[in-house]
Structure 1
Amino acid sequence: MSNPQPLEEMRCMQEAYDMSRAHLALTPCVIKAREGSEKDLVSLEHMFQQLGFESGLKRDPTAQQFQEEMGKFQQTIDAREGFVSCAFVVLMAHGEEGYLKGTDGQVVELENLFRVLNSKNCQALRAKPKAYIVQACRGEQRDPGETVGGDNVEMITEDSHQTIPTHTDTLHIYSTAEGYLPYRHDEEGSYFIQTLVDMFTNKKGPILELLTEVTRRMAEGERIQEGEARKVNPEVESTLRKQLYLQ
């Protein structure tokens, strides 16, 4: 009698991205006038090392340098010999909805950064997961919180066949909801980055499940700003077609 376990393992492998090869990461980060950012960088570097990523860092980029660093990253990936499993980009700066601000005071559009690694522009990452982690303001609103109950419903990813959409296999993880401020401590770093790093390095499971737990932890906590208790949670946008496991 055949053992069904190998068939089950094969099914699970087909439903998950192949993460057996190179993991690449880039972190363009504005440190200037963003107290606590150094703490975030240390935490992120620890996370990438533990998860087996080859990571690069660009400190205090101008708006143009944000775009240039993404272009260099794409060229490095496409020119690389051998299989690339995934790419992560961590973007940290002051910002507003849809934009990041460079050290020169100019802004760069997030969508212009995102499209550099899409299926059209980065061949080596076609059908491979691409994650963008954005620690930046998305507006000026502050959330005092509401008293409400209920659970969120997770979206189910689906497989494709011979062709894939241009913008598929992508994960956008924002530090806060559209229109709102995130929170960053001068010494302890940002609430979002520190919670995410703790989850990614200490827990195992599909990345969307881990991000749900990040959201739960942040939603249950409170930040004090201007003497008032404030609520905050990340926002996740996914076009992943398979399960993504970091460990």
Structure 2
Amino acid sequence: MGRGGGGGVGLSPAMRCAMHYNMRHPKRGMALIFNHETFASPALKQRLGTNVDCDALDKTLRSLGFAVTVKRDLPFSGVRDYIAMMAAADHSAFDCMIVVVLSHGELGRLHAYDTHYKPDQLWHSFTADRCPTLAGKPKLFFIQACQGEELDPGVKLRDRTETDGQHSADYKIPVHADFLIAYSTVPGYFSWRNTTRGSWFIQALVEELKAHGTTRDILTLLTFVNQKVALNYESNTPDCPVMHQQKQISCFSSMLTRMLIFGHKT
């Protein structure tokens, strides 16, 4: 689907000043998971534990009503093609969409099987001018990957115990509105993954989606994902002191313009 340019006026999926996104479309929407375990370059180690993340996310997103597609170890051309296919689809009957990447990364780039690419190549095809059937609808991206090699040893704190109806006139929206991009770690830093239980970020995200995915606003939910990652996890590598007892904090960037609560989908 090409750029919309200055063509006709699309119908907003929600009233102009609505507090919440319209999640009452016939279907929840598409979810695309790129799961990268092995890579062409010998310098990139096998990502043991990523299939645990992928399976948990697949099951959880399906329970929220998403139509999930999982693609494993694709080269960049495959990632690009599936993104293009998803952007070209008709999302008129959908509430929203999700793209997940589970891979290796560095600051400003992610790895496909054969090469690296910039993260913005995941979402630039979904702007309101390029994908008009998603205009005004939430577009969510979750990225489990390192953003560098810096480590976070954490800072100790002493625990404190407390003792005490009608359509409005036409209006414009920015083409980059209604995006949310969540990263497993902050720029420049390492992202931890357990080889048997999966990554810290995806474990926390799945826990929150299972417990509160239909009742909490997504920004509140992700705040508690941050809390879980920050407080409930610490690396355990006593044979490698420089990597031992390290911490992590996930982060997200929101261009959402309303509260997003998935609710129950019948």
TM-score, length-normalised on structure 2?
0.79
Q: Report which of the two has the higher share of strand.
A: 1
Residue in structure 1 matched with residue 248 of structure 2 by the alignment: 232
Structure 1 alignment gaps of length 5 or more: 1-10, 150-160
When the two chains are superposed, the root-mean-square deviation of aligned CA atoms in Å is 1.9
- State the 1:147 CA deviation: 3.8
Residue in structure 1 matched with residue 67 of structure 2 by the alignment: 54
Partner letter of residue 62 of structure 2?
Q
How do 1:68-83 and structure 2 match up within 5 A? 68-76=81-89, 78=90, 82-83=92-93
Contact 1:206/1:245 (CA < 8 Å) preserved in 2? Answer: yes
Instruction: Provide the rounded CA distance (Å) in 1 between the counterparts of 2:205 and 2:171.
Output: 34
Match of 2:96 among 86, 91, 95: 86
How do 1:123-134 and structure 2 match up within 5 A? 123-134=132-143
| 1:16-68 deviations in Å (ceiling 9; x for gaps) | 00112222111111122110011111101111111000111111011222211
Q: Identify the range of structure 1 (237-246 vs 13-22) with the bigger mean alpha-carbon deviation.
A: 13-22
Structure 2 alignment gaps of length 5 or more: 1-14, 39-45, 159-169, 239-243
Instruction: Provide the rounded CA distance (Å) in 2 between the counterparts of 1:196 and 1:107.
Output: 25
Residue in structure 1 matched with residue 261 of structure 2 by the alignment: 245
Contact 1:64/1:108 (CA < 8 Å) preserved in 2? Answer: no
Identity among equivalent positions (%) equals 30
Instruction: Provide the rounded CA distance (Å) in 2 between the counterparts of 1:28 and 1:121.
Output: 22
TM-score, length-normalised on structure 1?
0.85
Structure 1 ranges of 4+ moved more than 3 A:
none
- State the 1:185 CA deviation: 0.8
Contact 2:105/2:146 (CA < 8 Å) preserved in 1? Answer: yes
- State the 1:14 CA deviation: 2.4
Instruction: Provide the rounded CA distance (Å) in 1 between the counterparts of 2:225 and 2:35.
Output: 22
- State the 1:120 CA deviation: 1.8
Match of 2:105 among 95, 107, 121: 95
Q: Does 1:213 align with 2:216?
A: no
Q: How many residues were matched structurally? A: 222
| 1:209-245 deviations in Å (ceiling 9; x for gaps) | 0111111111112322543111111111001000001
Q: Identify the range of structure 1 (91-100 vs 232-241) with the bigger mean alpha-carbon deviation.
A: 91-100
Residue in structure 2 matched with residue 109 of structure 1 by the alignment: 118
Contact 2:35/2:51 (CA < 8 Å) preserved in 1? Answer: no
Q: Does 1:24 align with 2:30?
A: yes
Instruction: Provide the rounded CA distance (Å) in 1 between the counterparts of 2:247 and 2:153.
Output: 6
Q: Report which of the two has the higher share of helix.
A: 1
- State the 1:113 CA deviation: 1.5
| 1:87-126 deviations in Å (ceiling 9; x for gaps) | 010011111122111111x111111221011112111110
Partner letter of residue 246 of structure 2?
R
How do 1:2-13 and structure 2 match up within 5 A? none
Indicate the structure (1 or 2) with the bigger Cα radius of gyration: 2
Q: Does 1:223 align with 2:239?
A: no
